[in-house]
A and B are shown apart, each in its own frame.
Chain A
């Protein structure tokens, strides 16, 4: 954290690159992150959403992953990706044999590793866009620690944090529930969408960012104004 503040996130990335051993992480760290002064409209983004069984990255499980690239603030569905992580043992643990569960655990572990590797490749050189960064950040860090023994730097834009900041600055009294994705979308008169699918939530978040930037004339502001640590 101190290192990043002293030398910036690019320097941190270079230092981590030297320490990394695993190919997937090395590749991720080898691509430069967007410069903090790039206008936000030109920053390559990945809009991302995880569905999980809970908030604790150490205990809870990742259920599904959905993401799509956002280039020049256009959501490119050709890059849209959605994957459900096998989680049957969670539902049936009581009534199947021990051996069987181990098997499923194993296959689940492999599937998770593949998904994280794919994700790292997709987010290399990009900024991650999420609504409420805590989940994606902690689960991604935890997964990287478990798989690669390192938690590489990720850049996040958090539409929840951006709106919270905005409400706080304007000293608008608000109910925390108003910061929910669907509530904020309604505020911008965005169409209803089917919530709680990782990919549709990710797309919904990207649309929210579009409205936030365009309606407030922020699309030419530098990336650094939007990053969330």
Chain B
């Protein structure tokens, strides 16, 4: 630390392409730096820089805009701005400081003698401006796929023009009659030709019938008074956000200030749902693993957007699971292109959350293969290659390898149908608690690709056994009851069953998993084929194992927990963290806390009742 420039040197030495340069070259380079300050809002380069220069951001944020002031990108600390490095680059780009910046400016002519021996560095600097921007534009095009629908659309493309009005003095019944006749779910209420409120189907139900209000009372008594309207030229995505935030699902649309029509949240959500369809379509057309990898990057973004517009967690997970399924299918097709046609019939299975369609972005892969019994040793090699290709491919797309090794890559889970029959018969007929804990994932299976009958037959035989084998159900129950929800929450702590408190609780293992386990036990004990938790609970409702009310309670709890988990993970995603399941009470609003405690109670009650059964 004698030179006093060591810090700047080590800062520069980490930044590509200068990381390719030897130490002495870095020292020379630093000698050419001018440190300048750029105030937020001011353009780059400032007047004081006249020669072609490149800039390294020491601190702050630069924003790049197209000529028409569309934002292209933002750059922060340690990023390089090469746009002004070569005078002949005629890039139609404006750069501005978005936050106050400290910049290291390097005159290109000054540093050329230092870097000219290193062609890679020169190439990087020369290509970066044009080419890397192209990459960015490509990314923008991807974003467009996600934003395709609502982001760029105007409301006028969606709303139904023509709106029915009713005078505020008319009775509630008259309003209901008019709505029925016109087949409208809402009417705008006018007083003296001026719109003063709105009345919807829901208002009739909750504010009139439920409260026993006289149907001859004036409609004004039960209408929603603060009439929010939205202009036809508004951005459709903004409209959707507005509906969500204001919790109003019908908006009168005005055109040139006049009431012109009506838009409902369903109109918009349906359109937004197209995004998942768009992505699935891109997946089907992908020609390589690399192309799939690129598309997979869209999944977390889609998840974030769906969450933002208020799609329920379970609908988000359904969409994400569907996309992951088609991505796996395409991956298998690519493998077959490479390996040749499969020698015998087979089925690629998804296990666990993907099978239950309760998956979110960035989850791990759980899969398995069932192969027709006629396969030879030689045929089995083909499936081994298939499994390697697909599992590695999925990992490349961001689906991390299953930590428990539940993957088709593992020979144990890549077996002929007869072996699978045997697995299940062993698990069910001679259950060992330890073994059961690890295999519970295989009771949630779905066919992703191939011959569905292979799994169908295995499942059929398995369910016949589980229905009658109480010992198996007892063991499964015993395992399931080991995961318990917390007792409650106080201040910012979570109170565990053992009376100790923690700062966070694991929403997956202490919230969602116990419900999933309960639903599985109910389904297996009744021989129900459904795999998704909600379907299982719905189908078991009103039977000897689960009352209607309990099923409804569990479904509510399950939805709430998923909602919280998704919210937590999307927040982490926004902050650039990798998603986990550890939720702190601090993240949860008072109202949600009350609901969450109820959810814990529901789980505990049903766990306790399971315990007393066996």
Q: Cβ of B102 < 8 Å from any Cβ of A?
A: yes
With contacts A190-B59, A214-B100 known, is A197 near B34, CB below 8 A? Answer: no
Does A203 lie within 8 Å of B39, measured CB to CB?
Answer: no
Q: Cβ of B565 < 8 Å from any Cβ of A?
A: no
Chief secondary structure at chain A's binding surface: mixed
Q: How distant is A69 from chain B, measured CB to nearest CB, in Å?
A: 10
Q: Cβ of A84 < 8 Å from any Cβ of B?
A: yes
Q: How distant is B40 from chain A, measured CB to nearest CB, in Å?
A: 9
With contacts A84-B2, A190-B59 known, is A74 near B7, CB below 8 A? Answer: no
* CB-contacts of B1-56 with A (<8 A): 1-8, 30-37, 39, 48-49
Residues of chain B contacted by A78 (CB below 8 angstroms):
31-32, 110
Does A198 lie within 8 Å of B4, measured CB to CB?
Answer: yes
Closest to B29 in A: A77
Q: Cβ of B359 < 8 Å from any Cβ of A?
A: no
Interface size in chain A (residues, C-beta < 8 A): 30
Checking B31, B35, B59, B105 against A203 with a beta-carbon cut-off of 8 angstroms, the contacting residue is B35
Does A211 lie within 8 Å of B4, measured CB to CB?
Answer: no
Q: How far is the CA of A37 from the CA of B533 in the complex (A)?
A: 78
Does B4 lie within 8 Å of A203, measured CB to CB?
Answer: yes
Q: How far is the CA of A6 from the CA of B102 in the complex (A)?
A: 41
Does B4 lie within 8 Å of A197, measured CB to CB?
Answer: yes
Does A211 lie within 8 Å of B1, measured CB to CB?
Answer: no
Checking B1, B2, B31, B35 against A75 with a beta-carbon cut-off of 8 angstroms, the contacting residue is B35
Does B2 lie within 8 Å of A197, measured CB to CB?
Answer: yes
Does A194 lie within 8 Å of B7, measured CB to CB?
Answer: yes
Residues of chain B contacted by A84 (CB below 8 angstroms):
2
Residues of chain B contacted by A210 (CB below 8 angstroms):
35-37, 102
Q: Cβ of A72 < 8 Å from any Cβ of B?
A: yes
Q: Cβ of A164 < 8 Å from any Cβ of B?
A: no
Residues of chain B contacted by A82 (CB below 8 angstroms):
2-5
Does A77 lie within 8 Å of B37, measured CB to CB?
Answer: no
Max count, chain A CB within 10 A of own CB: residue among B34, B105, B110: B34
* Interface flags, A176-198, vs B, CB<8A=1, else 0: 00000000000001110110011
Residues of chain A contacted by B58 (CB below 8 angstroms):
191
Does A77 lie within 8 Å of B102, measured CB to CB?
Answer: no
Q: How far is the CA of A210 from the CA of B39 in the complex (A)?
A: 10
Residues of chain B contacted by A199 (CB below 8 angstroms):
3-5
Does A73 lie within 8 Å of B4, measured CB to CB?
Answer: no
* CB-contacts of A133-162 with B (<8 A): none
Q: Cβ of A125 < 8 Å from any Cβ of B?
A: no
Q: How distant is A87 from chain B, measured CB to nearest CB, in Å?
A: 14
* CB-contacts of A36-86 with B (<8 A): 66, 72-78, 80, 82, 84
* Interface flags, A196-229, vs B, CB<8A=1, else 0: 0111111100110011011100000000000000
Does A207 lie within 8 Å of B102, measured CB to CB?
Answer: yes
Does A74 lie within 8 Å of B4, measured CB to CB?
Answer: no
Checking A200, A201, A206, A207 against B5 with a beta-carbon cut-off of 8 angstroms, the contacting residue is A200
Q: How far is the CA of A80 from the CA of B37 in the complex (A)?
A: 18
Closest to A217 in B: B39
Residues of chain B contacted by A197 (CB below 8 angstroms):
1-2, 4
Does A77 lie within 8 Å of B33, measured CB to CB?
Answer: yes
Checking B48, B59, B100 against A74 with a beta-carbon cut-off of 8 angstroms, the contacting residue is B48
Q: How far is the CA of A106 from the CA of B463 in the complex (A)?
A: 99
Q: How distant is B128 from chain A, measured CB to nearest CB, in Å?
A: 23
Q: How far is the CA of A202 from the CA of B5 in the complex (A)?
A: 11
Residues of chain B contacted by A190 (CB below 8 angstroms):
59, 102
Does B5 lie within 8 Å of A77, measured CB to CB?
Answer: yes
Residues of chain A contacted by B48 (CB below 8 angstroms):
72-74
Does B59 lie within 8 Å of A80, measured CB to CB?
Answer: no
Does B100 lie within 8 Å of A77, measured CB to CB?
Answer: no
Q: How far is the CA of A82 from the CA of B31 in the complex (A)?
A: 12
Q: How distant is A18 from chain B, measured CB to nearest CB, in Å?
A: 37
**Known pairs A76-B34, A77-B33. 16 more at Cβ < 8 A?**
A72-B48, A73-B36, A73-B37, A75-B35, A77-B8, A80-B4, A191-B58, A193-B7, A197-B1, A199-B5, A200-B4, A200-B6, A202-B4, A206-B35, A207-B37, A213-B37
Q: Which residues of B come within 8 Å of A, CB atoms?
A: 1-8, 30-37, 39, 48-49, 58-59, 100, 102, 105, 110
| 11 A–B contacts from the bound complex (CB under 8 Å) | A72-B48, A74-B34, A74-B35, A78-B31, A78-B110, A194-B7, A199-B4, A203-B4, A207-B37, A214-B39, A215-B39
